[in-house]
Structure 1
Amino acid sequence: MRLGKYLIAMVAAAMASGLSAQMEPVPDIQPGEAEGPYGTLIVSGATMIEGSGAPPMGPVDIVIEGNRIAAIHGGGAPADVRASADRVIDAAGMTVMPGFVDTHGHNGDPSKAAQPSYGYRLWLAHGVTSVRGVSFYFGPGQPDLTDRQRSEANAIVAPRLFPYAVFGDKWGRPAPTTPAGAREWVRWAKAQGFWGIKFFNSAMPDVLGAALDEAEKQGLGTVAHLAQPGVQRVNARKAVELGLDGITHFYGHFESLLDDNALPRYPQGYNYFDEQSRFGWVARLADQVVEPHSEEWDAYIDYLIESGVTLSPTFNIYSASRDVMAAKNRDWHARYSLPSLMDFYAPSATNHGSYYKDWSTEDEVAWRKFYRYWFDLTAEFHRRGGRVTAGSDPGYIYQTWGFAYIGELEMLREAGLSPLEVIRAATTAGAQEIYDPRDEETPMGTIQVGKLADLVIVPGNPLDNLKLLYGTGHTKLNRETGSIEQVGGVRWTIKDGVIYDAPKLLESVAAMVEMQKGSREAAQ
C-alpha cells in the first residue's frame, strides 16, 4: 500500500504553500524580554486556582525558588521570607493559575507566518506555558527538536514545547507500509527525541496497530486525526481498540455511531479534495447518527471511558463554520493577525481550511446542529469521568495563536464543562495527557510545592468571565462613570520561573504586524 491519500494531499498542499521550505530561525531571547529566574520570587496576594479542580482560595503568597514552587502561604508569607525575596509581584485582586497547556499546536509556514516567534509569543501572552506540537513543522530537517531544546534552556521566547511527529514523516524516507516498517519508524522517532506520534489515519489497520503497539513500548504518546479517506477502515472505536491514546477533532466519532448504514452517505458530486465540499458535508453527518442518549450512543461513550482514551476536541478550529462573518472580524485581527495570515485565511482553492468559497446560511445552520451533537458527546464523556483537554490547532480558519486557545476554553464551557472544569482541562488534564504515556508524574499542571513554576496571572476572576483571558481584554461599561473600559488580559506569564510581561509580548507581536504592513505598502 502506498502512502494514504490524505497524507499525500497534505504533503502536496504543504509544498504548494511553502512548507517544504525552512521557516525563519527563532531569534535568541534579548535583554529585557524576560526576567528571572530568581533565587526567590514571590507572587503575592492573588486568589489561587490550583488546577486539580479544587475551589479558589486566597489571598496566597506563592514562593518560587529558581524554577520550582517552594512554598504556598495562605494569607501571606512570613515577614522574613518576604524581606529576603529577590522580587515580589503584587498580584492583589488578581487570579493565579497553573500555566495553560495547549495539546494541539502547529507553527505557521513561510507563506503565512514565517517567524515561529510570532506564534510562540502569542501563546505566552495568553498564559500558555506548554504546547504539544502535532507537528510544529512538517517535513524533514525542521527544527521541532532544537526549538524544544532552546525553549527548555530559556534561550528563546517560547512556551515549553513537546514535539510529536506525524507518522511516516521527518525521516526523509517513504512512509512505512508494513508492520515491521511501522515499528522501525516508531523506534527511529523515539531515538530522535520526539515525544509522540500524530496519525492521520493513512495506514492500514495492521500497520497502525503495529505502530501503536510499538509506541506504547517506547513510551511515546499517540493522537489521531481520523480523516475521512481512512475512516471506513479505522473509525474512532477501531482506533481505540488498536491502542490509540487520544482522539483530536471530531473525526471518527460519528462514523462509529451511524444509524442506518455501515458507511457514511455522501451527497452526489462529493469530492473530498474540494474542501468546501468536505467541510460542508461534515455537518450533515449529524443527520446520519443515532440520537444522543440512545442506547448505542451511551454504549459508545462508556466504551471510550473504559478504554482510557483522551479527547482533545479543538472545538474552536471549526467555529467559523457556524458564523464566518464573525470569525473574520474578530477584535484582534487588525492589530495582531499578520496580513499574510489574513491572506491565508481568505477563501482559497489551495490553502487548507480556507474553504469559504460559497458558504451559505444553510451550511452554518447545519454546523450549529453538528456542534450540538459534538458538544453533547464530549460533555457526557467528561461527566462520566473521561479526560478532556484543551487544544487550539491555530493558524487556520481565522484562528490566530493564543486568541484561539482562549476561544477553545470558551467553547469547552459552551459544551457543558463548568468554568472550574475548563481550567482543569487546560492545566492538569493537558499535562497528564502529555506525561502519562511516559509513566511519569507531571512536573507542571498544578500549583503545588515541588512543581515547576509555570503560572498565569490575570486581573479579575476568569471563573466569572473567561473573556478576561483574551489579550484584547473584555469590553465593559463602567456604570459609575459611563465610560467604556477594556478590562482583563493576562498580566504576567511565568514559565520555568521566568517572568514574561504579557502586554509587552503583545506589543512585540503588534510590531511584527506593523512591519509587514509597512513592507507591503513600500512594495506597492
Structure 2
Amino acid sequence: MNVAKISRYLVLIMSLGFLLLSSETFSQNGPSNPSLLEINPPDGPSNDMINAIVGVRLIDGFGGPAVENTTVIIKGNRIIEIGAKNLVKIPTNAIVTDGAGMSLLPGLIDSHFHSANNNKQLSTLLKNGVTTMRDPGHPIRFYQAQHFATSKMPRVYVTGAHLDGYPGVYVEQATLVKDSDHIRSQIAEYVENGASGIKIYFRLPLKYIETVVKTADFYNIPVVAHLELVDADDAIMAGLRGIEHVTSFGTSLADPKDAEEFRKAVQENSNNRRAGRYMLWSKIDLSSDRVKEVIELAVKNNVVLSPTLATFEKQFGDEDVKDYEAKGFKNMHEFVGMAHKAGMKIVTGSHNSGKYVKQGFAYQREMELFVAAGLTAMDAISSSTIYNAEYFGTKDRLGSIEPGKLADLILVEGNPSVDIKAMYSIKKVMLNGEWVEDN
C-alpha cells in the first residue's frame, strides 16, 4: 500500500474510530444516531417565552384539509399545543398574534439553493418564507459567513464540494474523484466538517455511484445527484435515491440514439448540455414504454425528485425562447406531473432564480409550476415542507406543525390550499420560536 493510500485510510480511521475496509461494512454498521444537523443552529427564546397564534387557518404540512379558527401555542422553540380557538386556553403571559384571515404553515424547506458567503441573500430567502435550505454541492467554506451573521438566517444544510469526475465542470466547487478509497476518505472528511448529505455531479462515472451511496449510508446521510452523462435508471439501480433537476432523467427517457448524441456532445464540452437538454427533451415521447418503465423503477425504489422547474422554464410566445426550448420545457413539466401521479415523491427546490419570476421568489414559482403540472395545492405544500424534511432526514423536528416540533412557521395572507399564489404573500416568519423582524 503506498503512502497516499495509507494517508487516506488514516483520515477515515480518525473519523470512525475503527478501520472499515469494505463498502459492505459501511452499509451494515452505520451509526444509529446520525448528525443530520444544520451548520448554523439558530438561537431560540428561553422556555419562559410563550407565543400564541390565535384564530388562524392551520395547514400542517401533511396534506389534509385546512383547519379554520385554530390556536397554536409555542413554548420556547417548541410547539406544545394545537386546537380549536374556543378550546385552547391561552396562558396569561403569552405573546398573542392574531391570525384572523391568515394561514399558518410550516416554514418552507428549499432542497436546492446555492450561496457563497452571501448572508444578505439568505436573509431575503428567510423573509420570503424559507426557514431551511440545503446547498447541494458547494464547499462548506462557502458558508463561513454564517458564523458572523448579524441577522437571522435560515437553517443551512451543506453537502460539501460535489464529487465529480475528471476533468470536472466547476472545479473550484468540486472534488475530482481518484478512486473508491478517495471517495470514502472525502465523505468522512465532509461529515466531520458538518456535511449532512453528499452530492454527485454529472461527470462522476457510474462505477463510483455505489461506493458513494454505501459510504453515505454508513453515516445515514442522503446522496443526491445531478446527472447528465449517467442514465437515471442506471444510477437508481446503483442505489441513488435523490435526483436533483428534472433534466437528470433526460438520457434515460430519450431514444437511445438521441441520448448517445447528447452524451457525446457533453463529453466534448460540458456547456453543450445547456441547449442540448432542451433539444433532447423536445424529442422525448412521453407516451413511450421507456418513460413508463423509468418512472416505475423510480417509484419502486422510493426515489425523490427535486425538479427545479423554475430554473428551466421556457414558454412559447416569449421572443427570447426558441420553439425547441419551449417544447423541451413542456415535456419536462409534463414529466413531473406524470411522475407525481405514478407515486414518485416530488420536493421543492428553487435553484435560486427563474426567468418568469421576481428575484427572491423562485421558490414560490416552483410551487406554482407543481400545481400547473397536476399536483394539488396541498400536494405542493407537502412537497415544500414535510416531504423535504424527509428528504433531509429531519422530519423528527421540522416540516410539519404538530406538538413537539420546532416552531419554524410562516403566516400567509389568504388561503394557499385553495390558491397557491397566496404563497407570495408571506406576512410573518417564525424561526425556532422567534418572529423574524425586518433588518
TM-score for both structures, normalised by structure 1: 0.68
Q: Structure 1's 468 and 271: CA in aligned 2 closer, same or farther, altered over 3 A?
A: same
Decide which of 93, 98, 103 is 2:101's aligned counterpart.
93
1:249 corresponds in structure 2 to: 245
Query: Match for 2:279 among 266, 276, 284?
Result: 284
Note closer, same or farther for the CA distance 1:255–1:268 as it changes in structure 2 (3 Å cut): closer
User: Partners in 2 of 1:414 and 1:258 — Cα distance?
Assistant: 23
Hey, what does 2:315 align to over in structure 1? 322
For the pair 1:384 / 2:342, whether they are aligned, the reply is: yes
CA drift of 1:250 comes to: 2.3
Matches within 5 A, 1:340-355: none
- Structure 2 counterpart of 1:3: none
More deviation in 372-381 or 412-421?
372-381
| Residue of structure 2 in register with 1:497 after alignment | 433
Within 5 A, what are the aligned runs for 1:398-477? 402-435=360-393, 441-470=395-424
| Worse overlay, 280-289 or 93-102 | 280-289
* Residue aligning to 2:35: none
The 8 Å contact of residues 161 and 173 in structure 2, kept in 1 or not, is answered as no
The separation in 2 between residues aligned to 1:215 and 1:450, in whole angstroms, is: 28
Q: Answer whether contact 1:196 1:220 (CA < 8 A) is retained.
A: yes
Displacement after TM superposition at 1:121 (Å): 1.9
Q: Does 1:311 align with 2:305?
A: yes
Q: 2:57, 2:101 within 8 Å by CA — same for their partners in 1?
A: yes
> Who is 1:23 aligned against?
none
Give me the whole-angstrom Cα distance separating, in 2, the residues matched to 1:150 and 1:220. Answer: 27
Amino acid at match of 1:495: L
Alpha-carbon offset, residue 171 of structure 1: 11
Aligned with 2:122 (options 120, 127, 146): 120
| SS of equivalent residue, structure 2 residue 97 | strand
Partner of 1:143: 143
- Are 2:113 and 1:105 equivalent residues in the alignment? yes
- Give distance in 1, aligned partners of 2:140 and 2:156: 18
CA RMSD of aligned residues (A): 3.3
Aligned partner of 2:184 in structure 1 is 183
Q: Which residue of 2 aligns with 1:19?
A: none
2:161 to 158, 166, 169: 166
The equivalent of 2:167 in structure 1 is: none
1:201 aligns with 2:196: no
Taking the aligned partners of 1:268 and 1:192, their CA distance within structure 2 comes to 37
Residues 360 and 460 of structure 1, relative CA distance in 2, 3 Å threshold: closer
Aligned: 1:60 with 2:70: yes
Q: Decide whether the 8 Å contact of 1:196 with 1:221 is kept in 2.
A: yes
2-side partners of 1:226 and 1:278: how far apart?
11
- Distance in 2, matches of 1:140 and 1:103, equals 16
Is this contact kept in 1: 2:407–2:432, CA < 8 A? yes
Distance (whole Å) between structure 2 residues aligned to residue 411 and residue 173 of structure 1: 31
Q: Whole-Å Cα distance in 2 between the matches of residues 41 and 381 of structure 1?
A: 40
Provide Cα deviations, 1:188-232, integer angstroms capped at 9, x if missing partner: 1112120011111222222232122101111121111113xxx1x
Quick one: which amino acid aligns to residue 370 of structure 2?
A: L
| Cα gap change, 1:187 to 1:281, in 2 (>3 Å) | same
Distance 1:396 1:198, change over 3 A: farther
Question: In the TM superposition, what is the alpha-carbon distance from 1:396 to its structure 2 partner?
Answer: 7.2
User: Equivalents in 1 of 2:114, 2:316: separation in Å?
Assistant: 24
**In the alignment, which residue of structure 1 is the partner of 2:131?**
129
- Corresponding residue SS for 1:58: strand
Unpaired segments ≥5 residues, structure 2: 1-41, 165-170
- Cα distance in 1 between the residues matched to 2:270 and 2:215: 35
Partners of 2:197 and 2:96 in 1: CA distance: 38
Task: Report which stretch shifted further, 266-275 or 452-461.
Answer: 266-275
Does residue 371 of the first structure (1) align with residue 371 of the second (2)?
Answer: no
Q: Secondary structure at the match of 2:176?
A: coil
Q: Work out whether residues 124 and 402 of structure 1, in 8 Å CA contact, stay in contact via their aligned partners in 2.
A: no
How far, CA to CA, are the matches of 1:266 and 1:311 in structure 2?
A: 22
Larger CA deviation: 418-427 vs 174-183: 174-183
Cα distance between partner residues in 1 of 2:140 and 2:128:
30
Name the CA distance, whole Å, in 2 between partners of 1:270 and 1:215.
Answer: 28
- Which letter does structure 2 place at the counterpart of 1:500? V
Q: Which amino acid aligns with 1:51?
A: G
Q: Which runs of 5+ in 1 are unaligned?
A: 1-28, 109-114, 326-358, 471-488, 509-524
Checking the alignment, whether the CA contact within 8 Å between 1:52 and 1:428 is kept in structure 2 is: yes
| Amino acid aligned to 2:234 | K
Which of the residues 30, 37, 58 maps onto 1:48?
Answer: 58
Deviations 1:284-329 (A, max 9, x none): 212443x22332221111100011110000000122x33796xxxx
Deviates more, 1:42-51 or 1:291-300: 291-300
Q: Quick one: distance in 1 between partners of 2:347 and 2:219?
A: 23
Within 5 Å, which residues of 2 pair with 1:69-84?
Answer: 69-78=79-88, 81-84=89-92
Instruction: Determine the C-alpha separation between the residues in 2 that align with 1:134 and 1:41.
Output: 34
* Partner-residue secondary structure (3-state), 1:88: strand
Could you tell me whether the CA contact under 8 Å between 2:69 and 2:84 is conserved in 1?
yes
Deviations 1:59-88 (A, max 9, x none): 00000001111000213454xx42523300
Question: How far apart, in 2, do the equivalents of 1:308 and 1:222 lie?
Answer: 13
CA distance change for structure 1 residues 37 and 371 in 2, over 3 Å: closer, same or farther? farther
Q: Per-residue deviation at 1:274?
A: 8.2
Overall identity of the aligned pairs, in %:
23
Deviation at 1:105, TM superposition (A): 1.0
- 1:74 and 1:120 map into 2 onto residues whose CA distance is 35
Equivalent pair of 2:244/2:308 in contact (CA under 8 Å): yes
Q: 2:292 aligns with which of 293, 298, 306?
A: 298
Q: Distance in 2 between matches of 1:360 and 1:172?
A: 30
Letter in 2 for 1:322: Q
For 1:49 and 1:279, the matched residues in 2 are separated by 38
